Amino acid sequence: MDGIEETNDPHHSATHEAGHAVIARVLTLACGGATIVPDYDDGSAGHSITEDPSECVYEWEKRGKVRDNPDAVLYARIIAFMAGAEAEQVLLGATQGGDGDDRDQIELMAAELVAIQLGASWSRIEPRLRAMTRMLVRRHRARIEWVAAAMLERRTLSREELDHLVGRSVNDVKVNAPFLLLMHQRRNEDEA
């Protein structure tokens, strides 16, 4: 998730990337690290990594979790991508407009979601997801502020550091399908 910032204010970049990192972890998505080190080649002021949908579903299943809604991963990833700009808005009162790549990714996921759900309308789904994202950002404001402060200090945080700071990760998935957990454990034993 990129934060292409017009003025590249580090506080905005840190808040933006912290929003992505925290909300993705709260939603138990498989995540990587985050940085506010600008990449001038691709024009980004930072990024936060959330794995692709198939990897997130695999990580859930590996931990014995089946989602009732097969589109849950798309909803969660859209919310995580929305969380950067929403965190800036809620915590700082404005955005710098650095969520162009986020919006592009949201649009791609929305098209996939609407294609899967016959009769679904993105214009009806999007406002609900934005409202949910704002609620999650408000609820986890302290975590976002901690992560943003750490990013301002260190500029780059690993997956492990973010998991520790946020206090949530994909490892917090609750088992509801013990047969999946057993299947993955047996597969790991066979591979060893």
**From the first residue on, what is the mean pLDDT of each consecutive set of 10 residues in the chain (192 residues)?**
57 95 96 89 81 89 84 94 96 86 92 80 92 97 97 96 94 85 82 78
End-to-end CA distance of the chain: 35
Strand partners, 157: 34
Cα angle value 29/33/36 (rounded, 5°): 125
Q: pLDDT at position 107, please?
A: 93
Query: What's the pTM value of the predicted model, to 2 decimals?
Result: 0.87
- Among 119, 163, 144, CA closest to 12: 144
Domain boundaries, the chain: 10-191
Q: What's the chain look like in SS3?
A: CECCCCCCCHHHHHHHHHHHHHHHHHCCCCEEEEECCCECCCCECCEEEECCHHHHHHHHHHCCCCCCCCCHHHHHHHHHHHHHHHHHHHHHCCCCCCCHHHHHHHHHHHHHHHHHCCCCCHHHHHHHHHHHHHHHHHHCHHHHHHHHHHHHHHCEECHHHHHHHHCCCHHHCCCCCHHHHHHHHHHHHHHC
Q: pLDDT at position 4, please?
A: 44
Q: pLDDT at position 1, please?
A: 57
CA atoms of 29 and 15, how far apart (whole Å): 19
Q: pLDDT at position 90, please?
A: 97
Fold of 10-191: Methane Monooxygenase Hydroxylase; Chain G, domain 1 (1.20.58)
Q: How far is CA 27 from CA 80, 105, 117, in A?
A: 8, 18, 21
- Among 36, 56, 55, CA closest to 44: 36
Starting at the earlier edge strand, list the strands of the sheet with 156-157. 47-50, 31-35, 156-157
CA atoms of 191 and 149, how far apart (whole Å): 41
CA atoms of 105 and 169, how far apart (whole Å): 22
User: Are 151 and 36 in contact, with CB atoms under 8 Å apart?
Assistant: yes
Q: pLDDT at position 75, please?
A: 94
